Amino acid sequence: MDKRLNSGGEKRLNSKRVGTIPILLITLVVIACAPLLLWLRSAAPLAVDLFQNERYNLETGYQITVLALAVLMIGLVYALTGREGLAYLNLNRRDGAIRPEPWIGIKPKQAESWRHLGLNFAVVITLVTAIVIYFQVVHGKIVSLELFPGLLLIPVFALANAFSEEILFRFTFVAVVSRYGFSSYLAQGLGAAVFGIVHYFGNPGGIVGVLMAAFIGWFLVKSMLETRGFFWALLIHFLQDVVIFSALFVG
């Protein structure tokens, strides 16, 4: 009996040791993506000439490039986790039990699940983002927005950006950490740290941007882990990006 217990313990320990390699690999790759995205934004290596407004052309080229990078990342995750990791891309899984997080005010009632928490936080986070973006980007500007194609491009860019960043900075950690049996807090910590640091130079930016992005990164990893799906992470990020692109395209 003792030998069997020792054997089981050794197997789990060996599994954890083996699992550290893909986790370190995916962490290094994701960290490398952060400066790469900044370079893609500034260097604009993919030239697109679809619109008269150069801002739209630059954003289109950037989003196409980052989508291609996200597809490559999905391939890497598949190589590390197989179909088990890709299961987190499911958009139909919108519900699940909520793990309490009293330190942040998440104290679910008995009948409350992710269908309630996801919707509530989608509204709250979007409103907070709108307020911060207004004072950081819009305040003091003469507001004007082209109805065509500007207004139509906002949800397109927002969806593309939300999908790519969720793949790069959330799905990667969730899939690999879960596949190798490590704590969900590791995935949440990595998702918060990397996404927060990236946004120091983004919108919203500075220390406020870092703190907001870190919290959103933490929360969206939590949503994927507890619903085992992609829906709330994609929707909440999409709503933030609609606000951000609306602000960037005014004036």
Residue 2 · residue 166 · CB < 8 Å: no
pLDDT per residue as tens digits for the range 112-134: 999 999 999 999 999 999 998 88
The token duo for 48 is 């697109």
DSSP state of 107: -
Per DSSP, the three-state class of 100 is coil
Q: Report d(CA 193, CA 21) in Å as an integer.
A: 20
Cα separation, 197 vs 62, whole angstroms: 20
Reduced to 3 states, what is the DSSP secondary structure of residue 96?
coil
Q: The whole model's pTM is what? A: 0.89
CA distance 180 to 192: 20
Say how far apart CA 161 and CA 147 lie, in whole Å.
21
Q: State pLDDT tens for residues 82-105.
A: 999 999 999 999 999 999 999 888
Position 212 confidence tier, pLDDT thresholds 50, 70, 90: confident
Burial of 26 (0-12, 13-18, 19+ CB in 10 A): buried
Q: Which residues, other chains included, contact 86 with Cβ-Cβ below 8 Å and sequence gap of 6+?
A: 74, 77, 78, 175
48-74: pLDDT as tens digits = 999 998 999 999 999 999 999 999 999
